[in-house]
Amino acid sequence: MNTRRFARTAGWLALPCLIAAGLLAWYVTREPASPFEQEQATTFDPALVSRGEYVARLGDCVACHSLAGKAPFAGGLEMATPLGAIHATNITPDPDVGIGAYSLADFDRAVRQGVAPGGRRLYPAMPYPSYVKLSDDDVRALYAFFMKGVQPASEPNIPSAIPWPLNMRWPIALWNGVFAPTTTYAAKPGQDALWNRGAYIVQGPGHCGSCHTPRGLAFNEKALDETGAPFLAGALLDGWYAPSLRQDHNTGLGRWSEPQIVQFLKTGRNQHAVVYGSMTEAFNNSTQFMADDDLAAIARYLKSLPGDPQRDGAPWQYQTAATDARPGAHLYATRCASCHGLDGKGQPDWMPPLAGATSALAKEAASAINITLNGSQRIVAAGVPDAYRMPAFREQLSDTEIAQVLTYMRSTWGNAGGAVDAKDVSKLRGHTDPASSSPIILHMR
């Protein structure tokens, strides 16, 4: 190319580029509209605060924004990203480091659109693509709770460890433009109120898809509601495999009744499973506090999501184990059978069965490996820590032994999850820590 001509062309292009850049700059830093622009919330009805506290339970805000032993919502939970660690922020009504200076509209933009005052974009670790579905009433209530129900705390925010230029936030706005919806939940005609309430909680405040929906290349959830087949179809995140919440017989809720789903979310356990991994936090801090009606609604909605037999594989059926000389069989008998039974059937509802467990049927072995390495954190139901917990085996079993015992577990009693590779155990061992054997209680007030 001729240099001179290039310069001339460049000159012609400069103006549109500048305009585009200006538009872009505006777009990526703008404060989006909020229906609350004109609303000055000054007095907070205690009932509204209390309603907001419940919404905060539905949204499980505390799980990320609080640390055990520290002031509620003073921030601090570290989230590892491929670029560096980020920390959940202080969302107490402290005017300097918290959100005390936020107007209702500011609050709304942060919660539902991921935009902080001044236009700074939040990382989508904050599940605003789900929270966007929150109703105006729930946002108003949530705001009331954070302003009046939460004590201000001056815990400073921890700067992210992401280096420049990767720490620039404006590209997130472009990501939002592609992946984040902008509208609140609209009731689906043709479905009853219970179903719609369930859909609202699951898609919106409950942000179940954050863990249970597979993500695309841009780390976007591949579907945000039941119109997309990947919605809640099971996903790998942070060393855990969050199983399908669809009607999948093996890896989903196909074998669970609605009352069993309610029981699981209310008490942390049922005849099929006991909460573990990241779900323990969701249970301890959120689902057990949901009203029975809401749990029933969630169950109704989840049971309406069809499974995918092709993805899920041949339906599991219990098979009696044959005599097995594999080393994993002996490890299982000595290390696992006391609780989970030689027959793999567990001791429902206290120790979960491994026969037919999603962790034994899903192709992803991460959850099985993780819980075996690190044990379970304590389940605290109705304020009382669990009677039984899963021990950690990382100090007792080698990568090979864990692979052997899990391979046995995933290929016995009709389980067909498949073999576990010692290398995968090694990988998870390297970047996970054992679960605490002390109950961790996060307070909201």
- In the complex, the residues that contact another protein under the rule CB under 8 A are 69, 330, 333-334, 338-339, 342, 347, 350-351, 375, 380, 383-385, 387-389, 391-396, 398, 400, 434, 437-439, 441, 443
Cβ proximity to another protein, 423 vs 443, nearer residue: 443
User: Minimum distance from CB of 434 to another protein (Å)?
Assistant: 6
Q: Shortest gap between Cβ of 294 and another protein (angstroms)?
A: 23
Q: Taking the complex as a whole, how short is the minimal distance between the CB of residue 436 and another protein, in angstroms?
A: 8
Specify the residue, 197 or 389, whose C-beta has the smaller distance to another protein: 389
User: Residue 16 class from Cβ within 10 Å (0-12 exposed, 13-18 middle, 19+ buried)?
Assistant: exposed
Strand pairing class (384-385; 380-381): antiparallel
Torsions phi, psi of 242, nearest 5?
-80, 115
DSSP tag of 289: G
Sequence-ordered alpha helix ranges (H) in 76-135: 104-108, 128-131
CB of 330 to another protein, least distance (A): 6
In this structure, what is the dihedral angle of CA atoms 54, 379, 197, 240, given to the nearest 10 degrees?
Answer: 120
Nearer to another protein, 115 or 354 (CB): 354
Q: How far is CA 24 from CA 119, 170, 256, in A?
A: 13, 9, 49
What's the closest the beta carbon of residue 384 comes to another protein, in angstroms?
5
Contact 271, 349 (CB under 8 A): yes
**Whether 402 contacts 395, CB under 8 Å:** no
Beta strands in 50-186 (DSSP E): 78-81, 84-87
Residue 392, CA atoms < 13 Å, CB-side half-sphere: 16
257/398 with CB nearer another protein: 398
Tell me the CA end-to-end span of the chain in Å, nearest whole number.
67
- Helix (H), strand (E) at residue 406: helix 399-409
Q: Judged by CB, which is closer to another protein: 319, or 338? A: 338
CA-based max dimension of the chain:
82
* CA 57 – CA 282 distance, rounded (Å): 10
Nearest CB to another protein, comparing residues 176 and 404? 404
Give the residue with the Cβ less far from another protein, 124 or 352.
352
Using the minimum distance from each CB to another protein, give the nearer residue, 213 or 285.
Answer: 285
| Closest CB 73 distance from another protein, rounded Å | 16
User: What is the closest distance, in whole angstroms, from the C-beta atom of residue 139 to another protein in the complex?
Assistant: 29
Structure tokens at 211: 């863990």
Q: How far is the CB of 435 from another protein (least distance, A)?
A: 10
